[in-house]
Amino acid sequence: MKPLARQQQPWTDESVSRFWAYETQRNRDESWYFSRQYGPALLEIARRTGGLRGQVLDYSAARGHLIDLLLEERDVQGVRGVEFTAESVAALNGRFQSRPKWQGALSLSQWLGEHSVRYQMVFCIEVIEHLDDRYLAEVFQQIYEALLPGGLAILSTPHAECLEQSFVYCPFCESEFHAVQHVRSITRDSLAEWLRRADFDVMSCDACDLGKLAMCQQGRPWRDWSYNYLKRAARYRLLRCQDKYQTGQLERLLKWLRTPQGPHLLAIARKK
Residue 203's nearest CA partner among 271, 125, 136 is 271
Quickly count: other Cβ atoms within 10 Å of residue 89's Cβ.
Answer: 21
The pLDDT assigned to 223 comes to 84
Query: What is the spatial distance between Cα 71 and Cα 89, in angstroms, rounded to a whole number?
Result: 17
pLDDT value of position 103: 97
Helix H or strand E segment including 124? strand 119-125
Sign of the dihedral through C-alpha 150, 60, 206, 191: negative
CA proximity to 42, closest of 156, 157, 151, 158 = 156
Cβ(266)–Cβ(154) below 8 Å: yes
Q: Residue 243's pLDDT is what?
A: 84
pLDDT at 206: 98
Predicted TM-score of the model (pTM): 0.93
Per-residue pLDDT of the chain (272 residues; tens, 9 = 90+): 556 657 788 899 898 888 888 887 776 677 778 999 999 999 999 999 999 999 999 999 999 999 999 999 999 999 999 999 888 999 999 999 999 999 999 999 999 988 778 999 999 999 999 999 989 999 999 999 999 999 999 999 999 999 999 999 988 888 899 999 999 999 999 999 999 999 999 999 999 999 999 999 998 888 889 988 899 999 999 999 898 878 889 999 999 999 999 999 999 999 99
Cβ contact 153:143 at 8 Å: yes
The pLDDT value recorded for residue 3 is: 60
CATH assignment, 13-208+260-271? 3.40.50.150
pLDDT of residue 135: 94
Q: What whole-number distance in Å separates Cα of residue 154 and Cα of residue 203?
A: 10
Report the distance separating Cα 136 and Cα 194, nearest Å. 9
